[in-house]
Amino acid sequence: MNTSIKSRLAAGETVIGTWHTVCSTEVAEALASLGFDWIALDMEHGSASVAYAEQAFVVLERHGCAPFVRMPSADPYLARRLLDAGAEGLLVPVVEDAGEFADFAAHCLYPPEGRRGVALERFNRWGDDFEGYLRDFRPVLVPMVETRKGVAAADALAALPMVDALFFGPYDLSADLGAPGDFTTPGFAAALTAIKDACTRHGKAAGGHQVAPDAAELKQRIEDGFRLLAYGTDMIAMRHALADFRDADDR
């Protein structure tokens, strides 16, 4: 079972992924072939089903890319289904309470650590890797900090043993801070510092979404100490690549 992202985060490495929002295995494969470490299927704002998720996971695995999901909510039974389908990591939006997240996480871990149901599905090759998966696999679990309340809970969240990273969602966080889409305010900068400091205190990775496909901004995020980064989205990247047509004056 491939647990390289979890191991690499624990070792202090930086891992870069992207957001998959378009329900097309061709798009998923095109993204994976670029060499991303992980790709997160967006089930919060996208239209993906569990059935599509499994198809996308197969494509990502073919390219050695870890399949992640940005969940629509902290739904423990959806999490179980996605893990059974082969998800290696789960990003959970709008997390504001460490106790609630710990309860959710218990559904992602087998007894005695948690209460995930044991099954024979593709995640353990229908039982062929039953013992190895049961013994060795732990999903990458990442609370998304997207509100002031979430920032206040960052230290308690980072202290949870099953948490691998905290991940800021820039648009939701900036909106909750009163300046939607403005990532230059002192409040936004202070929130990111609080998230990073919490991660440093507890030996966890700080992460976030660099939405604009701007390599210089991605480099700056890395230099700022973020180690679990999503770079763009499939749809944003496509529109960015063709924006010169929209902006042309001589059409």
Residue from 45, 63, 202, 209 carrying the catalytic annotation:
45
Q: What is the DSSP string of the chain?
A: ---HHHHHHHTT--EEEEEE-S--HHHHHHHHTTT-SEEEEE-SSS---HHHHHHHHHHHHHTT-EEEEE-SS--HHHHHHHHHHT--EEEESS---HHHHHHHHHTTS-TTT--PPP--SGGGGGGTTHHHHHHH---EEEEEE-SHHHHHTHHHHHHSTT--EEEE-HHHHHHHTT-TT---SHHHHHHHHHHHHHHHHHT-EEEEEE-S--HHHHHHHHHTT--EEEEEEHHHHHHHHHHHHHH-S--
Rg (CA), the chain: 18
Is 107 tagged catalytic? Answer: no
Phi/psi of residue 20, each to 5°?
Answer: -105, 110
- Could you list the active site residues? 45
